Structure 1
Amino acid sequence: MTKKAKLSRRGFLQTSAAATAAGVAFPTIIPRSALAQGDRPGANDRIGVAGIGVGRQGSGVFRGACNDPRTQVICVCDVNRPRGESIAKANGAKEVYQDYRRVLDRSDVDAVTTATPEHWRANICISAALAGKNVYAEKPMTLTIPEGRLMVKAARRTGIAFQVGSQQRSQRENYIGCEFIRNGGLGEIKEVFAANYESPWLCELPEEPVPAGLDWEMWCGPTELVPYNKELYVPRGNPGWLSFRPYSGGEMTGWGTHGFDQIQWALGLDSTGPTEILVDGSALELPTYRKPESLDRGNKICSEPRLSYRYANGITVTLDDKANRGGGIFVGEKGKMEVFRGALGSNPPEMAKELLEKSSRKNQSHVGNWLDCCISGERPIADVELGHRSATVCHLLNLGRLLGRNLKWDPDAEQFLDDAEANSMLTREIRKGYEWPKV
């Protein structure tokens, strides 16, 4: 917080007691959030914000937080120092770091936005939560399922507001459509369709000179230290880290987290997950890119075998080419509805049209909702548990494609049933010195 005087819980109680003795009335009910986190910003405080990872996506999220009148811009962190300096200057931040731990050490930072590559997400988010910093993390929230559970655990332990960047939950059309389906507007759901998202593949790109000001060792972080190549460093290029293991889950997590998040939300199943992964074909043989090239070859190979998954209630979601990326098609007793980014369609057409005409709901600020919760102690609309569950669907599908066989999943225990090989693939190797913090 940026008040000149910041009261600790003990100081608050002492001040309250002294004031009461002097005849000044104070409320006798202390909010749960004040007890859980003494430094939570109050209604009249400004929230000290920092941006960790401020590239293409991260700079936009950070800017959204900086532009809110309730915030005070503190600092920026990016492994690319020139980029960090540029974003800091544009948003009024005075300090620039290349090591996120320097940010988390600051007592004037109340909240962080982070949009690093996926292989860094767990370390930063768990550390931030344990340091008592509120977190806005871009989707996909995780690279593996166990690290997602640790992120939830860390957030719950410290009581911070943890928002995942599944911003479609804040969009008008998505909210209205998912609520309608969840409340039985389509009747019993017969089947659901999602886009067929590509899984990631391998890379052994040739070494290039590391640009001045880029800490490549830090960029690699928890993964193996490999030679720099600009087509690995960029998120989407020829082809970019988003298509490569072990940095990402490919478009299965890149776009899939949006789509499966909407499906889980609409079905009222976003605090659980599938019980079966169904695979139609043989195991994926991962291609390796040894030089920069377009996405075409990798996408063609890594969109097979075809997949579907089933929930305990019998609803099956099929990945095919019918649905738009980032959404789903729901087929029910009373018609069909498609929900995707900022759009709602139906058959019969008047169903969606009437829904939108009758609703007074407007688009909401996803970052604004997070900042609301930083102050109130409420859970945001895309809370960490929901983000974890949506990302889990993506990871399960990627594993099914790699193994080339049907899998049975326990969404409560977060383990495969009677499948030691599949369970051994739930985690990933972490480079020494970059282990996850203990929660």
Structure 2
Amino acid sequence: MKENSTSGMNRRNFLELSAIGLTGLTILPSWTMSDGTRIAPSDRVVMGFIGLGQQGINDFGSFSSVPGVQIAACCDVDSMKQKRFKKRVEAWQASKSIAGRCDMYEQYEELLERTDIDAVEVCSPDHWHALMTIHACQAKKDVYVQKPLSFTITESLQMVKVAKANKRVVQVGTQQRSSKEFQKAIELVQAGAIGHIEKIYAKVGDPPKPLDLPEMAIPGNLNFNLWMGPLNDPNIHYHPDLCPPISLEPEEREKLWGAWRWYRETGNGFTADWGAHMFDIAQAAIGMDGSGPALITPKGYKDQPYLTFKYLTGVEMTEQPYLEDMPNAQGIKFIGTKGWIEVARGYLACSDASLVPAELAGRRPKNLTPEERKKMFEEMQKSAAKGSGSFEISSPHMQNFIDSVRSRNNPIAPIEVGCSTAITCCLGNMATELQRPVKWNPATLSFGDDKEAAAHRLYHYDYRNPYSLYK
């Protein structure tokens, strides 16, 4: 197992020891667009990327389309992914007549010490989101952090506290908030277009399962000890599915998304992976941003057919298919006293068709077989590897973040919203694991006298030494 002398330091200790070598860093030169348009220094936003896997590569594609963004540095525990990212960034810089530079780091604390960096993207596995975001805020960087906001409820609450204390702009990567079909669905629900909302179907997928991957030898380009970071579980070991490998010559992307998200020891399953999107939109529409459900009942409890969230307003949200003939398609159906609304990526429909603008209607999702999904994924990989496409383009969401960095106004998906959504996802998994209903007070952020729920690992867990959530 590869060790690193500073992998366990908290940021405060690191800052006391890390001044060496940092004085030679310089600010990137002025940016002139290829068409001759010059971006004013006051409008340029210099970024660093932490986490350079598939999502990091995709997000670079989106951020690079935002005028005035410069990318100065990157960080990952896999040295090959560092080199891949640097190569792509410097090719993009050359195409924009920007002086080529993208410094590489294994330790994210070193990147945060850069005085020329205004903002960072945190695109690491979920168990690192809290510490990286907290330390970035303490370093006075604004943050774009991928969803879900955190691995546990306590982490989310601490992230909000630190972001506020340091007056940082934090955007959560729930890019559906910036998509017009979802914005329209929220608008229609809140305008009462389908009457009073009674039920919501939000299909996201299965909860996580126990880690069942065999242990394998750690490749030399990967610091797996640093990848583990604060995770505190002796059953976690290296397997390539957790950290999908790549090649550089020839360049080949990851063949799957990091499987850490599907296991209890390292992630929160589809409940959080897609719940961070669909539960997020559902709560936004019914006015529950910053709040959450009061009663969470797991699937199978007294013949309960679906994981169910009940809000104090009486609205009930169930994790069930929103399209009867497409049980695995992720999306949302709002059911009101006067009709219904269905929404998914690239699709919006309503019982009153006149309420849906033609340009937002899109196409009804296809019920792809597993083989068809695999083929589609492979084609997207080939396209993205050639630089002609991406798995997920979120440019409007990135533009909103950069606009907020400049204006100091709240972004469309601020950290408080990401916190309430992450809490909802964690509560769903807690009820599932406890195999009974869980009561939550969204006002006091507590479980009342339910000591078992308050002691659950998804509320709070002790980090591996020497990591700490509060330093």
TM-score normalised according to structure 1 size: 0.80
Give the structure 2 partner of residue 49 of structure 1.
Answer: 47
Q: Distance in 1 between matches of 2:360 and 2:65?
A: 30
By how many angstroms is 1:119 displaced? 0.8
2:241 corresponds to 1:231: yes
2:470 corresponds to 1:434: no
Contact 2:54-2:257 at 8 Å conserved across structures: no
Question: 2:290 is matched with which residue: 268, 271, 279?
Answer: 271
Q: Distance in 2 between matches of 1:177 and 1:364?
A: 20
Give the structure 2 partner of residue 116 of structure 1.
Answer: 124
Q: Distance in 2 between matches of 1:221 and 1:236?
A: 24
Map 1:295-310 onto structure 2 (within 5 A).
306-310=306-310
Give the structure 2 partner of residue 422 of structure 1.
Answer: 453
- Post-superposition Cα deviations, 1:212-231, rounded to whole Å, max 9, x if no partner, equal 22111101111146432112
Give the structure 2 partner of residue 281 of structure 1.
Answer: 300
By how many angstroms is 1:280 displaced? 4.4
Give the structure 1 partner of residue 383 of structure 2.
Answer: none
Map 1:17-416 onto structure 2 (within 5 A).
44-92=42-90, 93-195=101-203, 197-224=205-232, 226-234=236-244, 237=256, 240-282=259-301, 306-323=306-323, 325-353=329-357, 356=360, 365-416=396-447
By how many angstroms is 1:407 displaced? 1.5
- Report the secondary structure of 2:444's partner residue: coil
By how many angstroms is 1:353 displaced? 4.2
By how many angstroms is 1:204 displaced? 4.7
By how many angstroms is 1:232 displaced? 2.4
By how many angstroms is 1:191 displaced? 1.2
Contact 2:28-2:72 at 8 Å conserved across structures: no
- Post-superposition Cα deviations, 1:294-338, rounded to whole Å, max 9, x if no partner, equal xxxxxxxxxx97311111111111122235755311111221101
Task: Evaluate the alpha carbon distance shift between residue 356 and residue 201 of structure 1 in structure 2; reply closer, same or farther with a 3 A threshold.
Answer: closer
Q: Distance in 1 between matches of 2:28 and 2:264?
A: 45
Contact 2:295-2:309 at 8 Å conserved across structures: yes
By how many angstroms is 1:356 displaced? 4.7
Identity of aligned residues (%): 33
Contact 1:305-1:404 at 8 Å conserved across structures: no
| Larger deviation, residues 85-94 vs 264-273 | 85-94
Task: Evaluate the alpha carbon distance shift between residue 216 and residue 356 of structure 1 in structure 2; reply closer, same or farther with a 3 A threshold.
Answer: closer
Which residues of structure 1 form unaligned runs of 5+? 6-40, 284-303, 358-362
TM-score normalised according to structure 2 size: 0.75
Q: Distance in 2 between matches of 1:171 and 1:372?
A: 16
Aligned length: 378
- Report the secondary structure of 2:333's partner residue: strand
- Report the secondary structure of 1:410's partner residue: coil
- Report the secondary structure of 2:298's partner residue: strand
Which residues of structure 2 form unaligned runs of 5+? 1-25, 31-38, 91-100, 245-253, 362-393
By how many angstroms is 1:237 displaced? 4.6
- Report the secondary structure of 2:230's partner residue: coil
Which one-letter code corresponds to 1:428 in the other structure?
Y
Task: Evaluate the alpha carbon distance shift between residue 342 and residue 99 of structure 1 in structure 2; reply closer, same or farther with a 3 A threshold.
Answer: same
* Coordinate RMSD, CA, aligned: 2.6
By how many angstroms is 1:281 displaced? 2.4
Task: Evaluate the alpha carbon distance shift between residue 135 and residue 238 of structure 1 in structure 2; reply closer, same or farther with a 3 A threshold.
Answer: closer
- Report the secondary structure of 2:46's partner residue: strand
